């Protein structure tokens, strides 16, 4: 898929923060969930004791869940891991993987935060702006926001708020498993992001799209 250039990559934290502040205003989390015919799951696996990493993308026909395309890209981390600046570390490699895609998925799902971020600009938001397509963040741990524990059964949800505003939701993706934190990244609203994650559950803690991408990334890393 074609990916227009959005901005150059920063070298320092100060530059990264400036980019976030410059782009937050363009994020749109007011779009209702539309018809999704293809959904992409994305993830990255890191090598131990080396800056090498693998970005993986799995495109699924939706809602049949049939895998229709996969892409993996080997790259090297250029930006360090800094809480709140994760996108500057993972996006470059992910964008390379998307560029190799023959399909242009209707929506994307990531193991990261969307607007549930200190500056409301998580990886899912950043990716959404680059691709100009719906992106959903489904993180495995909390970063910001207040919430009450969701019920113990798969599918149970609880709102994730901040300063009285609903950012997303906390979803019990699998019975008796720790919940995941869902928030829209771009071109989708909180309800839509949550609905898409609920449609993606399969008995495991991770939604099908990111679960498959995670497995693919690990397989490729083993070949490093």
The answer, yes or no, to whether the previous bond of 63 is cis (omega within 30 of 0) is yes
- Residue 140 as a binder of DNA (CB under 7 A): the answer is yes
The correct pick among 29, 40, 42, 45 for binding DNA (CB under 7 A) is 45
Q: Least distance in Å: CB of 191 to DNA?
A: 20
Q: Is 143 in the site for DNA (CB under 7 A)?
A: yes
Closest Cα partner for 104 from 35, 37, 7, 197?
37
**Distance in Å from the first CA to the final CA of the chain:** 26
122 in contact with DNA (CB under 7 A): yes
CB of 7 to DNA, least distance (A): 16
Least CB distance to DNA at residue 38 (A): 23
Is residue 43 annotated as involved in ligand binding?
yes
* Strands of the sheet with 165-171, listed across from one edge: 67-76, 52-61, 38-46, 107-110, 135-139, 180-186, 165-171, 157-162
117 vs 172 by CB, closer to DNA: 117
N residues, the chain = 224
Residue 61, annotated as binding a ligand? no
Q: Give Cβ neighbours of residue 64 (< 8 Å, ≥ 6 apart).
A: none
Name residues whose C-beta falls within 8 Å of residue 34's C-beta, 6 or more positions apart in sequence: 106, 134
Q: Work out how close the CB of 6 gets to DNA at its nearest, in angstroms, rounded to a whole number.
A: 16
The residues binding DNA (CB under 7 A) are 43-46, 48, 81, 83-87, 111-113, 117, 122-124, 137, 139-143, 218, 221
Binding-site residue numbers for Mg(2+) are 43, 111
């Amino acid at each position: 898929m074609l990916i227009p250039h959005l901005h150059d990559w920063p070298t320092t934290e100060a530059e990264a923060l400036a980019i976030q502040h410059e782009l937050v205003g363009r994020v749109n989390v007011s779009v209702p969930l539309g018809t999704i015919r293809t959904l992409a799951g994305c993830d990255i696996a890191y090598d131990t004791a080396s800056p090498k990493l693998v970005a993986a993308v799995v495109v699924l026909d939706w809602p049949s869940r049939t895998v229709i395309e996969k892409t993996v890209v080997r790259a090297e981390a250029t930006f360090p891991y800094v809480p709140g600046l994760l996108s500057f570390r993972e996006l470059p490699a992910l964008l390379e993987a998307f560029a190799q895609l023959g399909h242009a998925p209707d929506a994307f799902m990531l193991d990261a935060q969307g607007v549930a971020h200190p500056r409301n600009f998580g990886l899912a938001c950043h990716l959404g702006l680059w691709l100009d397509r719906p992106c959903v963040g489904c993180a495995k741990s909390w970063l910001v926001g207040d919430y009450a524990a969701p019920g113990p059964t798969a599918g149970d949800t609880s709102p994730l708020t901040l300063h009285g505003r609903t950012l997303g939701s906390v979803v019990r993706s699998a019975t008796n498993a720790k919940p995941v934190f869902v928030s829209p990244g771009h071109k989708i609203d909180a309800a839509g992001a949550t609905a898409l994650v609920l449609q993606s559950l399969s008995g495991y803690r991770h939604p099908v799209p990111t679960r498959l991408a995670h497995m693919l990334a690990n397989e490729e890393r083993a070949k490093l």
